[in-house]
Amino acid sequence: MIEELAVKTREGAELIDVTAEVQAIAEKSGVKNGICVVYVPHTTVGLLINENEPGFHSDLIGVLDRLVPQKGSYRHPDGNAHAHIKAGLIGSEKHFIVRDGRLVLGTWQSVFLCEFDGPRTRSVMVKVMEG
Amino acid sequence: MIEELAVKTREGAELIDVTAEVQAIAEKSGVKNGICVVYVPHTTVGLLINENEPGFHSDLIGVLDRLVPQKGSYRHPDGNAHAHIKAGLIGSEKHFIVRDGRLVLGTWQSVFLCEFDGPRTRSVMVKVMEG
Amino acid sequence: MIEELAVKTREGAELIDVTAEVQAIAEKSGVKNGICVVYVPHTTVGLLINENEPGFHSDLIGVLDRLVPQKGSYRHPDGNAHAHIKAGLIGSEKHFIVRDGRLVLGTWQSVFLCEFDGPRTRSVMVKVMEG
């Protein structure tokens, strides 16, 4: 079973915590032990695991903007080359271990959709597998 | 079952789209629903998911060259320290959700082998699991 | 079954090779063919696959320090914003293909825990799935 979350982003670049939604899908799946795969079918969005602390959000976005500036001599059309590159560096997929019906997460870990070319409505796909 | 693709690269650095080959392995596997794991057993090659648009290819390679220049004061021997670092940043493995016998991919998503120390013949390993 | 490794780090930033420990868990699991998922439940630690060569260790840490300096105008408190960002860029999870009871690894590949805010005792979680 694959579940799909619709996530509305409101900024050009922002981190949106989807941990609770992914955790709820894992619990609902009935899978006791296995893995949970999270995937974004987009090329200007990434998935990242880290702390849900507002300073971290703006630090991460700030560092990526410094390393891959929005304005640059890019060849990709559409003016969003920087967003493609950031998404490529961050990656489109993550997996989690499921134990006793829940994702195993560290105390400070959250899962974020990282928007780099918003605002848009984005999709997050979640699959839970027994094993 | 594990399938192995041989990919010949022709440049020092380039992105090679292997989506069709990976999709074909997924279809041939007979797995209806599950995941597909892609892995490169190399230390100067990465796997990346993004758009197959020539401008993006050169933008990504250009940004990585700026961030991790080929010539630098590296300690790793062999003159390819930059390629190891790029491969480490991009990563060696990706996974995909398989639904109805096919990889779930966004409209603009392709899977690339990213060569950073070519030209060489590289291997891409693909495993499809039901679940 | 999930196994957990305790890894003591001794430096602020260092790469620790955990390949042998992960390989041993895969062998002990009795899984002949499947995947092995490795996960760190931390926000200032990453997992990376590359060559276990001392020059590479210091090159990688040096490049990350240059791109994400320890001292910067970060908003995250605690003075370890750089470590969170590095961990976010490197990622918290990797997967491997298991064939004939062993991880499939390239000749030069090792798996590293990347400490960015040590020294501390860290956890590496390993799950092996048949399939």
Query: What is the C-alpha R_g of chain C?
Result: 15
DSSP A101: T
Per-residue confidence (pLDDT) for residue C3, from 0 to 100 = 98
Alpha carbon C8 to its chain centroid, in Å, reads 13
CB-CB under 8 Å, B75 with C55: yes
The token pair that represents B39 in the structure block? 């892995």
Instruction: Of A81, B17, B85, give the one whose Cα is nearest residue C50.
Output: B85
Instruction: Of C36, C18, C16, C37, give the one whose Cα is nearest residue C27.
Output: C36
User: Residue A59 above 90 pLDDT?
Assistant: yes
CB-CB under 8 Å, C59 with B85: yes
Alpha carbon C103 to its chain centroid, in Å, reads 16
Q: State phi, psi for C63 to the nearest 5 degrees.
A: -65, -45
Residues 6+ apart with CB under 8 A from B40: B46, B47, B92, B93, B113, B122, B123, B124, B125, C106
Q: State phi, psi for C7 to the nearest 5 degrees.
A: -120, 120
- Smallest CA–CA distance, residue A49 to chain B, in Å, is 15
Share of chain A above pLDDT 90, in %: 98
Per-residue confidence (pLDDT) for residue C1, from 0 to 100 = 84
- Side by side, the strands of the sheet bearing A34-39 are A2-8, A121-130, A34-39, A93-99, A102-103
Instruction: Read off the pLDDT of each residue in A55-67 and give the average, rounded to a whole number.
Output: 98
Q: Is C92 on the interface with A (CB under 8 A)?
A: yes
Q: Is B109 on the interface with A (CB under 8 A)?
A: yes
Domain membership of residue A18 as a residue range: 2-130
Specify the pTM.
0.98
Instruction: Read off the pLDDT of each residue in C20-46 and give the average, rounded to a whole number.
Output: 98
Size of chain B, expressed as the number of residues it contains: 131
DSSP C79: T
C-alpha C74/C-alpha B48 separation (Å) is: 29
pLDDT digits (tens, 9 = 90+) for C95-128: 999 999 999 999 999 999 999 999 999 999 999 9
Please name every residue paired with A8 in a beta bridge, in sequence order, or none if there are none.
A121
Chain C CA closest to residue A104: C41
At residue C6 the predicted structure's pLDDT band, cuts being 50, 70 and 90, is: very high
At residue C44 the predicted structure's pLDDT band, cuts being 50, 70 and 90, is: very high
User: Residue A50 above 90 pLDDT?
Assistant: yes
CB-CB under 8 Å, C131 with B41: no
CA distances from C41 to A12, A96, C4, C95 (A): 29, 10, 11, 15
CB-CB under 8 Å, A131 with B55: no
CB-CB under 8 Å, B94 with A89: no
- Smallest CA–CA distance, residue B115 to chain C, in Å, is 14
Domain count, chain C: 1
Instruction: Read off the pLDDT of each residue in A2-8 and give the average, rounded to a whole number.
Output: 98
Per-residue confidence (pLDDT) for residue B105, from 0 to 100 = 98
Instruction: Of C48, A127, C116, give the one whose Cα is nearest residue B86.
Output: C48
| A59, A14 contact by CB (below 8 A) | no
Q: What mean pLDDT is reported for chain C? A: 97
Instruction: Of B125, B130, B110, B113, give the one whose Cα is nearest residue B53.
Output: B110
Mutation target among B31, B76, B96 for the C interface, most CBs of C within 10 A: B76
The DSSP result for B45-92, as a single string, is: EEEEEE---HHHHHHHHHHHHHHS-SSS---SGGG-HHHHHHHHHH-S
User: Residue A1 above 90 pLDDT?
Assistant: no
CATH of residue C42's domain is 2.60.120.460
* 10-residue mean pLDDT series, chain B (131 residues): 96 98 97 98 98 98 98 94 98 98 98 98 98 95
Instruction: Of B5, A73, A57, give the one whose Cα is nearest residue C74.
Output: A57
Please tell me whether residue A99 adopts helix, strand or coil conformation: strand
Q: Is B53 on the interface with A (CB under 8 A)?
A: yes
Per-residue confidence (pLDDT) for residue B1, from 0 to 100 = 84
> How many Cβ atoms are within 10 Å of C119's Cβ, its own excluded?
12
Per-residue confidence (pLDDT) for residue C65, from 0 to 100 = 98
Q: Is B125 on the interface with C (CB under 8 A)?
A: yes
Per-residue confidence (pLDDT) for residue B98, from 0 to 100 = 98
